[in-house]
Chains A and B, each alone.
Chain A
Amino acid sequence: MSRKYSITENGAEKSKLKKFLQKDFSQFIVFAVPMIFLAIFLLYPLAITLVRAFWRPDSFNFKFTGWSLEGFEQFFTTKLYLRSLRNSIVLSVSVTLLTLVIGVPMGYCVARVKIPGKKLLVSLGILPIIMPSFVGAYTWVILLGNKGVLRAAINWFISPFGITIPSIYGMFGMILAMTLTYFPFVFQMSYGAVSSANALLEEAAMLMGAKRSYIMRTITLPLIIPSLGAAALLVFVRAIGNFGIPAVVGGNNYVLPTLISFAYQGDGDINFASTISLINVLITGLVLYVQKYVVAKREYETISATHTDIKLHESLGARLFASIFCLIILIFSLLPQVTIIVMSFFRNWTGLLPVGFTFENYLSIPKNSSKEMFNSFFLSISATVMCAVFGSILAYIAERKKPKGAALLDMSIMAPFILPGTVVSIALLSAFGANSIFKMTGTYAILLISYMIRRTPYVYRSVSANLTQLNPSLEEASTISGATWFYTFRRVSVPLIMPAIISGSVMTLTTLLQELSTTILLYGPKTRTVPIQIYNKVLENNLGQASALSTILLIVVFTIIYGMNSRKGSDVSSALKM
């Protein structure tokens, strides 16, 4: 061995300190920065929230009055609060079940029945992220409200049977709006699971004498249960954390997120808001536990290795049923979008039909909402860029270097994924609110931080999923050629994981443009965003302007997603999985 190139020979003579310094610490430093960020802006606020829930320090000078369960006592003895808890549970459970009832058959139909327009149906999956959910809810008020055109039509049809549609304000409206908002998640995931299932397993069953329905019951369904579990969790977490829909159509039916918001904004009682947040998190945590340890345990490797095409159902009955079923759902999910676009050209729509055709709704935007427009784009784009950088570096180091504490990192990053937006806001307010040392309320910074905390999981998950499929030898080859980890990351890994970064970022950007549930508690007069503006216009009953703003968001988001979908290899759904 040539002495000139030997590293170890000299190393033995060097002092311990020198040896220590010789190590490559860059990756630990890069790793530490986001960790510290998470510690300050996620773990610390969550800890403060816990403290507030149990010790109930004085709201103004944070003086401890001792451990107490007073908040919980108050919660569990007051009728209003108990009813909200029950509403939340009833709402999330029924929405989860309904999305399964709609999404699973639809996924199966599109994957396994010969029907036209499959591509169109699959792209339905982008509909829920294309419009703020509370705007969707409001369109149902227009269509199914007391004088709504759809209510009149349906009632005319079903009233002979002695039934009428219940009031849109309340549980019915919330369940309807949320189900239609969230079923595409279940649809997408069950479609993916059914169409990628190993066809041989079903063929084997068929040869053993089993008929379609028996195979479906004993083979197809049991094998996709883990995917359905993941989809159900996704829906449940979103349903229980959704603020916009209950705020718009809930009427006097409070749910936990609206209760949190009103406890904080109405009564200014952040301690009690913390208590409710904790209860909210506990429910989500319990459901997550069930999903992780009961359902996900039964995950199997069923992806087909051979390329046998799965036989499609071709009987007329199956095709007719599938087509009609999918068509009805397609129409219902497109109705809110259509309604909003129509509404944006009218002054009002309180009766059967909209009245007063006008362009004023759009023309007044520069005057009324230019600041909100700027805020929304500025905040969303900056947060997305930071999420993309943070998320991909963190995913890379956690996945490839497997440092100590990677599990903690994984948990910290993914925690906000299941925390309702209002809870994240309450946590941040607990730590950095009006009476804390670092007062950040009403600043751009606190919104940016909350966005980053809540959306980094998208890029992180998308990239780590991609990395696990990427052969490490590609990177090893670069290391052996003499490249440092960062050079390898820059020149080899990033180009390869680019599709994942892009899909994660698009997911981040498009959801941030419509963010309401975090922003609603954190915004100040200077930092109002478009969704806040829309929400306020809806509350003011200024439907025209709300619709015009929504339509603009809709077009922007659609353009971004369409642009990404036409790029090969990018797939939004990888950012959704947990």
Chain B
Amino acid sequence: MSKIVRYEKVNKIYAEGTKNAVHALKDVSFSINEGELFCLLGPSGCGKTTLLRSTAGLENISSGKMYYGDVDISTIPPYKRNIGMVFQSFALYPHMTIFENVAYGLRVRKVPNDVVTKKVTEVMELVGLQEELKRNPSPTALSGGQQQRVAIARALVYDPDVLLLDEPLANLDAKLRRYMRAEIRRIQKATNITTIFVTHDQEEAMAVGDRLAVFRKGVVEQIGTSDELYNQPANAFVANFIGKMNFFNSHVVSTSAKSVEVEIDTTGIKIEIPKERTHAEVKNGDEVLIGGRPEHLTVSKEQSKNSIPGKVRIIQHLGSFIRYEVEVKGSISPVTFEIDMNSLQKDIHEGDMVNVSFDSERVAMFSPKGREI
């Protein structure tokens, strides 16, 4: 039976009370819907794995509460939580066949033999390993992708309330990784088990998750669908972590009910930003960051109203788009901008002086704090 997972002010402090204390989770509160595929995303050391392991009961949280449905599971030992988990290294048992690996959770639950066989067969069909099950080899004889499937089957076979995936694709090569993330989504939708998926790869998270939580330094920065995170990032960190963003140091010139006008430092260029894209309360003279995604900027030889001059350093042909790296004098030191365009500007070459202009409708404004990743 699939369950809602809910966190209430969860804190985790490693080596609490000592000099080396690390505050790994800070007042984490949110909830995950029934049957949802939810991604915990963030750079390494952000606390996402700690939260996952605490959800599993492998770590004890320092304070706060965790619920599966209405049940407070904060202090319930892991073996009573009825969860399935897939580890980054798969953690398959080398001394058992794949059948016995998958059957393990059922054997623990003292399920009768005929039911075990039936359930293992079913789940192996679900993950697409029915042929391998006939040969029933040791997991060490399987390829990485197949081991991954065994690990998923093993976690699903006893109908867990919650499925936890800890960087499940990190040990696979790039092509297989893209294929398996679609597979994981298919299997999750077929079983409809509430699933938490931890990854540091934003593309993976966006492709897999129904919703995502972006973590930084133990704090949840933003929760939303991939579309929301990409188009309405809550702060500069999320903006630059979900996709790429070019930032300009700026300051506020004037504010009105509908928009904020900012001037990019040292250039004198002024831009009006609609209020819904300003992610900070500001007054005149405040320091702010304005940001534009590579695909929302353009380069050309001509000068226009909001353009900034710069020098093309590198032009990369990346298939579906062309990336220009332009060095602009937007702040104290020169900054390299990435600009993605659908078509090649024939008259622009590396080393040329160009003008970078941007779509003021799509420029976002952030408070200057927390820009670093």
Interface bits A196-227 vs B (CB < 8 Å: 1, else 0): 00101101111111110010001100110000
How far apart are the CA atoms of A499 and B56 in the complex, in Å? Answer: 42
**Could you say which residues of chain B place their CB within 8 Å of the CB of A222?**
95
Q: Does A300 contact B (CB under 8 A)?
A: yes
Q: Does A305 contact B (CB under 8 A)?
A: yes
Given known A-B contacts A214-B108, A306-B88, A306-B89, A207 and B94 have beta carbons under 8 A apart: no
Q: Is B109 a contact partner of A209 (Cβ separation < 8 A)?
A: yes
Given known A-B contacts A209-B105, A209-B158, A201 and B79 have beta carbons under 8 A apart: no
**Could you say which residues of chain B place their CB within 8 Å of the CB of A201?**
91, 93
Q: Is A208 a contact partner of B94 (Cβ separation < 8 A)?
A: no
Q: Does A301 contact B (CB under 8 A)?
A: yes
Q: Does A567 contact B (CB under 8 A)?
A: no
Q: Is A223 a contact partner of B95 (Cβ separation < 8 A)?
A: yes
How far apart are the CA atoms of A203 and B89 in the complex, in Å? Answer: 12
**Could you say which residues of chain A place their CB within 8 Å of the CB of B108?**
205, 208-210, 214
Q: Is A300 a contact partner of B95 (Cβ separation < 8 A)?
A: yes
| A194–chain B nearest beta-carbon distance, Å | 15
Q: Is B79 a contact partner of A209 (Cβ separation < 8 A)?
A: yes
Q: Does B149 contact A (CB under 8 A)?
A: no
Q: What residue of chain A has the Cβ atom nearest to residue B86's Cβ?
A: A204
Given known A-B contacts A223-B95, A300-B95, A207 and B89 have beta carbons under 8 A apart: no
**Could you say which residues of chain B place their CB within 8 Å of the CB of A214?**
108
Interface bits B131-175 vs A (CB < 8 Å: 1, else 0): 000000000100000000000001100100000100000000000
Q: Is A301 a contact partner of B94 (Cβ separation < 8 A)?
A: yes
Q: Is B158 a contact partner of A207 (Cβ separation < 8 A)?
A: no
How far apart are the CA atoms of A214 and B106 in the complex, in Å? Answer: 13
**Could you say which residues of chain B place their CB within 8 Å of the CB of A305?**
89
| B151–chain A nearest beta-carbon distance, Å | 9
Q: Is A302 a contact partner of B94 (Cβ separation < 8 A)?
A: yes
Q: Does A298 contact B (CB under 8 A)?
A: yes
Interface bits A291-307 vs B (CB < 8 Å: 1, else 0): 00000001011100110
How far apart are the CA atoms of A161 and B140 in the complex, in Å? Answer: 55
Interface bits B68-103 vs A (CB < 8 Å: 1, else 0): 000000000011111111011101011100000000
Given known A-B contacts A300-B94, A301-B94, A208 and B58 have beta carbons under 8 A apart: no
Report, as a range, how many residues of chain B touch the other chain: 20 to 34
Q: Does B104 contact A (CB under 8 A)?
A: yes
How far apart are the CA atoms of A198 and B89 in the complex, in Å? Answer: 10
How far apart are the CA atoms of A218 and B158 in the complex, in Å? Answer: 18
How far apart are the CA atoms of A222 and B81 in the complex, in Å? Answer: 26
Q: What residue of chain A has the Cβ atom nearest to residue B77's Cβ?
A: A206
Q: What residue of chain B has the Cβ atom nearest to residue A311's Cβ?
A: B58
Within 8 A of A (CB), among B183-234: none
How far apart are the CA atoms of A300 and B84 in the complex, in Å? Answer: 24
How far apart are the CA atoms of A201 and B90 in the complex, in Å? Answer: 9
**Could you say which residues of chain A place their CB within 8 Å of the CB of B94?**
223, 300-302
Q: What residue of chain A has the Cβ atom nearest to residue B138's Cβ?
A: A300
Q: Is B79 a contact partner of A211 (Cβ separation < 8 A)?
A: yes
**Could you say which residues of chain B place their CB within 8 Å of the CB of A208?**
79, 84, 104-105, 108, 154-155, 158
How far apart are the CA atoms of A333 and B87 in the complex, in Å? Answer: 42
How far apart are the CA atoms of A435 and B171 in the complex, in Å? Answer: 68
Q: Is the interface of A mostly helix, strand, loop or mixed?
A: helix
**Could you say which residues of chain A place their CB within 8 Å of the CB of B78?**
203, 206-207
Q: Is A200 a contact partner of B95 (Cβ separation < 8 A)?
A: no
**Could you say which residues of chain B place their CB within 8 Å of the CB of A198?**
89, 91
**Could you say which residues of chain B place their CB within 8 Å of the CB of A200?**
87, 89, 91
| A116–chain B nearest beta-carbon distance, Å | 19
- B79, B107, B109: the one contacting A207 at CB < 8 Å is B79
How far apart are the CA atoms of A201 and B87 in the complex, in Å? Answer: 9
Given known A-B contacts A209-B109, A211-B79, A222-B95, A204 and B87 have beta carbons under 8 A apart: yes
| B120–chain A nearest beta-carbon distance, Å | 13
Of A201, A211, A311, which is in contact with the most chain B CB atoms at under 10 Å from its CB?
A201
| B311–chain A nearest beta-carbon distance, Å | 41
Within 8 A of A (CB), among B33-62: 56-58
**Could you say which residues of chain A place their CB within 8 Å of the CB of B93?**
201, 219, 223
**Could you say which residues of chain B place their CB within 8 Å of the CB of A302?**
94
Q: Is A203 a contact partner of B58 (Cβ separation < 8 A)?
A: yes
How far apart are the CA atoms of A311 and B77 in the complex, in Å? Answer: 13
Q: Is B91 a contact partner of A204 (Cβ separation < 8 A)?
A: yes
Q: What residue of chain B has the Cβ atom nearest to residue A208's Cβ?
A: B105
Q: What residue of chain B has the Cβ atom nearest to residue A225's Cβ?
A: B95
**Could you say which residues of chain B place their CB within 8 Å of the CB of A311?**
58
How far apart are the CA atoms of A46 and B105 in the complex, in Å? Answer: 54
How far apart are the CA atoms of A301 and B84 in the complex, in Å? Answer: 24
Of B83, B95, B108, which is in contact with the most chain A CB atoms at under 10 Å from its CB?
B95
Q: Is B85 a contact partner of A207 (Cβ separation < 8 A)?
A: yes
Q: Is B140 a contact partner of A300 (Cβ separation < 8 A)?
A: yes
Given known A-B contacts A223-B95, A300-B140, A302-B94, A205 and B104 have beta carbons under 8 A apart: yes
Q: Is B95 a contact partner of A210 (Cβ separation < 8 A)?
A: no
Within 8 A of B (CB), among A418-460: none
How far apart are the CA atoms of A200 and B104 in the complex, in Å? Answer: 15
Of A201, A203, A204, A311, which is in contact with the most chain B CB atoms at under 10 Å from its CB?
A204
Of A198, A203, A311, which is in contact with the most chain B CB atoms at under 10 Å from its CB?
A203
| B99–chain A nearest beta-carbon distance, Å | 14
Within 8 A of B (CB), among A280-339: 298, 300-302, 305-306, 311
Q: What residue of chain B has the Cβ atom nearest to residue A304's Cβ?
A: B89
Q: What residue of chain A has the Cβ atom nearest to residue B164's Cβ?
A: A207
**Could you say which residues of chain A place their CB within 8 Å of the CB of B81?**
207
Within 8 A of A (CB), among B272-302: none
Interface bits A214-256 vs B (CB < 8 Å: 1, else 0): 1000110011000000000000000000000000000000000
How far apart are the CA atoms of A208 and B110 in the complex, in Å? Answer: 12
How far apart are the CA atoms of A210 and B57 in the complex, in Å? Answer: 13
**Could you say which residues of chain A place their CB within 8 Å of the CB of B104?**
205, 208, 210, 218
| A14–chain B nearest beta-carbon distance, Å | 48
How far apart are the CA atoms of A422 and B171 in the complex, in Å? Answer: 53
| A334–chain B nearest beta-carbon distance, Å | 34
Of B78, B82, B91, B158, which is in contact with the most chain A CB atoms at under 10 Å from its CB?
B91
**Could you say which residues of chain B place their CB within 8 Å of the CB of A223?**
93-95
Of A206, A209, A211, A214, which is in contact with the most chain B CB atoms at under 10 Å from its CB?
A209
Q: Is A210 a contact partner of B79 (Cβ separation < 8 A)?
A: yes
How far apart are the CA atoms of A298 and B107 in the complex, in Å? Answer: 22
**Could you say which residues of chain B place their CB within 8 Å of the CB of A203?**
56, 58, 78, 85, 87, 91
| A226–chain B nearest beta-carbon distance, Å | 10
How far apart are the CA atoms of A206 and B58 in the complex, in Å? Answer: 9
How far apart are the CA atoms of A211 and B83 in the complex, in Å? Answer: 14
Within 8 A of B (CB), among A49-87: none
**Could you say which residues of chain B place their CB within 8 Å of the CB of A206?**
58, 78-79
**Could you say which residues of chain A place their CB within 8 Å of the CB of B88?**
306
**Could you say which residues of chain B place their CB within 8 Å of the CB of A205?**
104, 108
| A410–chain B nearest beta-carbon distance, Å | 26
Q: Is A204 a contact partner of B85 (Cβ separation < 8 A)?
A: yes
Of A208, A218, A311, which is in contact with the most chain B CB atoms at under 10 Å from its CB?
A208
Q: What residue of chain A has the Cβ atom nearest to residue B78's Cβ?
A: A206
| A304–chain B nearest beta-carbon distance, Å | 9
**Could you say which residues of chain A place their CB within 8 Å of the CB of B87?**
200, 203-204
Q: What residue of chain B has the Cβ atom nearest to residue A211's Cβ?
A: B79
**Could you say which residues of chain A place their CB within 8 Å of the CB of B89?**
198, 200, 305-306
Q: What residue of chain A has the Cβ atom nearest to residue B157's Cβ?
A: A208
How far apart are the CA atoms of A201 and B83 in the complex, in Å? Answer: 15
Further pairs besides A209-B82, A209-B158, A223-B95: 7, Cβ < 8 Å: A198-B91, A203-B78, A207-B164, A208-B105, A298-B95, A300-B140, A301-B140
Q: What are the 7 A-B residue pairs with the smallest beta carbon separation, nearest first?
A: A208-B105, A300-B94, A200-B91, A204-B91, A209-B108, A210-B108, A207-B85
Q: List 23 A-B contacts (CB under 8 A).
A: A198-B91, A200-B89, A203-B58, A204-B87, A204-B91, A204-B154, A206-B79, A207-B56, A207-B85, A207-B155, A207-B164, A208-B84, A208-B105, A208-B108, A208-B158, A209-B82, A209-B108, A210-B79, A214-B108, A300-B94, A300-B95, A301-B94, A306-B89
